[in-house]
């Protein structure tokens, strides 16, 4: 180490020399917001926050009321190092829903609070890979995954996400997962499901069975397998609360050596975007794998950001543990899904009308539109529409576009895509 470092005369460490943020969704979104302040006619479909038809953020009354009732300790003190018991057990109830009993019987589960879903992903990517390895992603992915990998001194490898019928490409997943695992003796895969960011796809239960079959096959070769399941948008699935959670039945078949880390996002579920509250839900049938998970996970929380939002954790804990609040919050979530549902319906009516090709959508904040126009971002901006562009597609945050703008937006996208 010391020898090679003699060559590094930069103020920056060697592993950080090449880091350069090429696209930052939050920054593009700021630019869109600023532009819209000058010209209210512009359509801002950039960032993953749910807005009301008025353009105001959709905040939950249950959340605001709970926040207003916190005492000084619940508001200002440091969080307990491993989070409050209410938060930890509430997250497990919430994430698994009707499958909770089966899942908690089959797996050892541990919840580690993190700074949002991003903190959960970042800590997991850092801890469960060797420097220089690659993580596996579908070719359409939320671009920060790549930044999180580079930050952790890792690369990414992708598999083709869709087959010819625009279903999840099970064959390509299998092929690439086996190849990468064989090559580097580790498989760390991130699946953003249901309501995929950026495409809107949800894997079917049969897709999930197939995914787990592949993971099992690799784990049985004594190769470490880590599944990072990012379900940030699960509560905006058009199939509703229970419908979105059916996929967990397929978890039961998992080989005991596999470590699954579910990234839970308080930002999305509770509109607590700016609070930075989320969790890693670690689960495995192996107790020793879970000991490792807790050991390095707790360490990273302390050594990367010390502790997480106390007020966010207090609010979520109080909603999770108070049945009346929980019911009131569920009712508000229905309202949120309805708002989203109306926009989605109109979007697809317009897409049919104007013959715009889209990717399959089943819920969440985003609709994916394939494009081969390399200047799509600039072309759309010229016509007054801001979206996030990714290789081969544009991501339309339908969560923030009011009904009155949708017909016009679809026409503009059709013109440029």
Which two three-digit tokens encode residue 9?
Answer: 């005369």
Phi, psi of 416 (to 5 degrees): -105, -15
Contacts of 228 (CB under 8 A, 6+ apart): 121, 124, 125, 188, 189, 190, 191, 260, 261, 263
10: contact with a second copy by CB under 8 A = yes
119: contact with a second copy by CB under 8 A = yes
140, 170, 186, 337: residue in contact with a second copy (rule CB under 8 A): 186
292: contact with a second copy by CB under 8 A = yes
281: contact with a second copy by CB under 8 A = no
Q: Give the closest residue to 307 by CA, choosing from 299, 318, 317, 296.
A: 299
272: contact with a second copy by CB under 8 A = yes
Interface region with a second copy, contact rule CB under 8 A, candidates 78-86, 159-167, 246-254, 386-394: 78-86
* Least distance from a second copy to the Cβ atom of residue 34, Å: 10
62, 110, 122, 199: residue in contact with a second copy (rule CB under 8 A): 122
Q: Which of residues 193-222 bind a second copy (CB under 8 A)?
A: 222
176: contact with a second copy by CB under 8 A = no
Q: How far lies 33's CA from each of 37, 127, 404, in Å?
A: 6, 36, 18
72: contact with a second copy by CB under 8 A = yes
Interface region with a second copy, contact rule CB under 8 A, candidates 62-70, 167-175, 242-250, 363-371: 62-70
β-pairing verdict for 385-390 and 393-397 = antiparallel
Interface region with a second copy, contact rule CB under 8 A, candidates 19-27, 37-45, 164-172, 238-246: 19-27
86: contact with a second copy by CB under 8 A = no
404: contact with a second copy by CB under 8 A = no
* Least distance from a second copy to the Cβ atom of residue 388, Å: 14
239: contact with a second copy by CB under 8 A = no
131, 164, 323, 404: residue in contact with a second copy (rule CB under 8 A): 131
Phi, psi of 232 (to 5 degrees): -50, -35
62, 99, 110, 115: residue in contact with a second copy (rule CB under 8 A): 115
* Least distance from a second copy to the Cβ atom of residue 52, Å: 10
Which is nearer to a second copy, 162 or 293 (by Cβ)? Answer: 293
Q: How many residues does the chain have?
A: 417
Q: Which of residues 310-329 bind a second copy (CB under 8 A)?
A: 310-311
11: contact with a second copy by CB under 8 A = yes
Q: Give the closest residue to 169 by CA, choosing from 364, 372, 359.
A: 359
66, 99, 110, 129: residue in contact with a second copy (rule CB under 8 A): 129
336: contact with a second copy by CB under 8 A = no
Which is nearer to a second copy, 224 or 368 (by Cβ)? Answer: 224
Which is nearer to a second copy, 18 or 404 (by Cβ)? Answer: 18
4: contact with a second copy by CB under 8 A = yes
Interface region with a second copy, contact rule CB under 8 A, candidates 204-212, 231-239, 272-280, 391-399: 272-280
Q: Give the closest residue to 269 by CA, choosing from 235, 246, 240.
A: 235
90, 194, 224, 368: residue in contact with a second copy (rule CB under 8 A): 224
């Amino acid at each position: 180490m010391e020898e090679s470092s003699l060559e590094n005369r930069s103020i920056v460490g060697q592993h950080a020399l090449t880091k350069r943020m090429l696209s930052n969704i939050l920054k593009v979104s700021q630019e869109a917001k600023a532009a819209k302040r000058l010209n209210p006619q512009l359509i801002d479909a950039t960032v993953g926050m749910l807005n009301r038809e008025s353009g105001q953020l959709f905040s939950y009354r249950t959340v605001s009321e709970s926040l207003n009732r916190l005492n000084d300790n619940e508001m200002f003190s440091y969080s307990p190092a491993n989070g409050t018991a209410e938060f930890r057990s509430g997250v497990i109830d919430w994430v698994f829903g009707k499958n909770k009993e089966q899942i908690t019987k089959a797996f050892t589960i541990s919840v580690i609070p993190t700074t949002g879903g991003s903190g959960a992903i970042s800590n997991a990517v850092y801890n469960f890979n060797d420097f220089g390895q690659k993580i596996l992603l579908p070719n359409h992915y939320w671009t920060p995954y790549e930044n999180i990998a580079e930050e952790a001194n890792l690369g990414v490898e992708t598999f083709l996400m869709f087959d010819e019928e625009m279903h999840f490409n099970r064959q390509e997943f299998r092929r690439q997962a086996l190849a990468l695992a064989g090559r580097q003796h580790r498989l760390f895969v991130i699946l953003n499901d249901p309501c995929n960011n950026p495409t809107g796809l949800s894997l079917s239960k049969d897709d999930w069975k197939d995914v787990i079959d592949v993971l099992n096959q690799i784990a049985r070769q004594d190769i470490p397998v880590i599944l990072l399941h990012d379900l940030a948008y699960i509560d905006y699935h058009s199939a509703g609360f229970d419908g979105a959670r059916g996929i967990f039945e397929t978890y039961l078949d998992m080989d005991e050596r596999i470590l699954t880390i579910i990234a839970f996002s308080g930002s999305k579920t509770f509109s607590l975007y700016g609070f930075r509250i989320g969790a890693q839900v670690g689960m495995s049938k192996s107790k020793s794998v879970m000991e490792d998970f807790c050991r390095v996970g707790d360490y990273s929380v302390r050594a990367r950001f010390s502790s997480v939002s106390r007020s966010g954790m207090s609010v979520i804990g109080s909603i999770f543990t108070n049945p009346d609040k929980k019911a009131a919050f569920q009712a508000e979530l229905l309202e949120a899904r309805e708002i989203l549902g109306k926009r989605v319906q109109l979007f697809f009516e317009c897409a049919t009308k104007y013959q715009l090709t889209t990717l399959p959508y089943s819920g969440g904040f985003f609709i994916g539109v394939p494009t081969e126009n390399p200047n799509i971002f600039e072309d759309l901006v010229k016509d007054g529409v801001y979206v996030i562009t990714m290789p081969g597609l544009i991501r339309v945050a339908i969560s923030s576009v009011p009904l009155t703008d949708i017909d016009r937006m679809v026409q503009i996208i059709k013109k440029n895509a």
